[in-house]
Amino acid sequence: MLTSIVSYNLNGIRSAISKGLLDWLRQEQFDIVCFQETKAQPSDVGGLDIEALGYTQHWHSAEKKGYSGVATFSKQAPDRVVVGCGMEKYDREGRILRTDFGDVTVLNCYFPSGTTGDVRQSFKMGFLDDFLDWVQELRKERPKLIVVGDYNIAHQEIDIHDPKGNKKSSGFLPEERAWMSKWLEHGFTDAFRQVNPDMVEYSWWSFRAGSRGNNKGWRIDYQSVSENLAGQIKAARQLTDVVHSDHCPVLMQIDL
C-alpha cells in the first residue's frame, strides 16, 4: 500500500489557515500530515474541522502560548499515540509526537533552533544528543521508524544556497552537520537524498530580501526512515509551489 506522508512547518497554523491551508488539504488528501510550529492549542483555532476533511487529529502543544508545537493528522486512526519523549525540558516545548500504525512508528518532530543565541544553540545541541539516544532506545521496541519534521539543520553544501557565507550560521555549523552525518550512520536514510542524490531543492527561505523568489533557501525539513524501510521509499520531494509558510511541505511516498 502506497502511503503519502507530508511534513510541514507552518510557522503558525492560524496564519497558514488564513492562506488556504485547509483547502489545500481537502484537495490533496494525503494519508498522514505532520505539522510543526503550530503555535497554538487546538481550542485556539476557530473553524478547524479536521474530521470533516477525513482526518483524525493529535496535538502536542507547547506550554508557552503561541510557541512551537506539533500536530499529526491521519486518515487512519493510529493504534497508539505518545505525546512527548519523557524529557520535561523538551516536552514543555511541544517537540515530539509519536503515532503508531501497525508495526510502523511515525515521529513528528520540531527540533530546536539556535538562531537566537548561545543559550538556545546549547539547548539545541543537547536536544540532538538526547534525541539520538532516545530514538536508539525506542528502536529496540519499535524498529520500523519514520522520523519527519523540521530538523533545523542543512546537512550538506547541496542543501543550502550559500554554504560559504553560512558556515558560521546556526543550522549549518560543523557540529550540527556532523550530528546529521552521525544520525544517518546510526541506521537512518534521508528519503529525499536517497531518491534524488543530486537534486537541489530547499524547504525554507528567509522572509528577507526576496529569498524565496530568488530561491535562496535551505533544506532543513527531512523525512528519515530506518534502514529496514529504506527500500520501500518510492518518491520524495519538496512541494516548493505550496505557500502557506516560510517553509514548504515535504512529501514522501512509501510502500507500507
Task: For residue range 35-82, list pLDDT tens digits in order.
Answer: 999 999 998 886 677 888 999 999 999 999 999 999 999 999 999 999
- Report residue 147 CA to chain centroid gap: 8
Contact 192, 143 (CB under 8 A): no
Domain count, the chain: 1
Average pLDDT, integer, range 123-135: 98
pLDDT at position 47 is: 62
From CA 169, how far away is CA 177, in angstroms rounded?
A: 11
CATH number for the domain that contains residue 152: 3.60.10.10
Q: Are strands 32-36 and 2-9 parallel, antiparallel or unpaired?
A: parallel
Q: Answer whether residue 120 shows pLDDT above 80.
A: yes
Mean pLDDT of 108-132: 97
- Exposed/middle/buried for 40, CB within 10 Å: 0-12, 13-18, 19+? buried
Mean pLDDT, the chain, as a whole number? 96
pLDDT-derived band at 1 (thresholds 50, 70, 90) equals: confident
What lies within 8 Å, CB to CB, of 176 at 6+ separation is 114, 124, 125, 128, 153, 170
For residue 37, which amino acid is it?
E
Helix (DSSP H) and strand (DSSP E) numbers for the chain:
6, 14
Residue 23 neighbours by CB under 8 Å, 6+ apart: none
- Provide the residue range defining the domain that includes 85: 2-255
C-alpha cell at 162: 550559500
Catalytic residue among 100, 118, 133, 150: 150
- Confirm whether 150 is a catalytic residue: yes
Q: Collapsing DSSP states into helix, strand and coil, what is residue 129?
A: helix
Give the count of beta carbons closer than 10 Å to the beta carbon of residue 228. 13
Nearest CA among 132, 126, 109 for reference residue 60: 109
Neighbours of 209 (CB within 10 A): 8
The pLDDT value given to residue 137: 98
Q: What pLDDT does 45 receive? A: 85
State pLDDT tens for residues 165-220.
Answer: 999 999 999 999 999 999 999 999 999 999 999 999 999 999 988 999 999 999 99
Closest by alpha carbon to 151, among 111, 187, 101?
A: 111
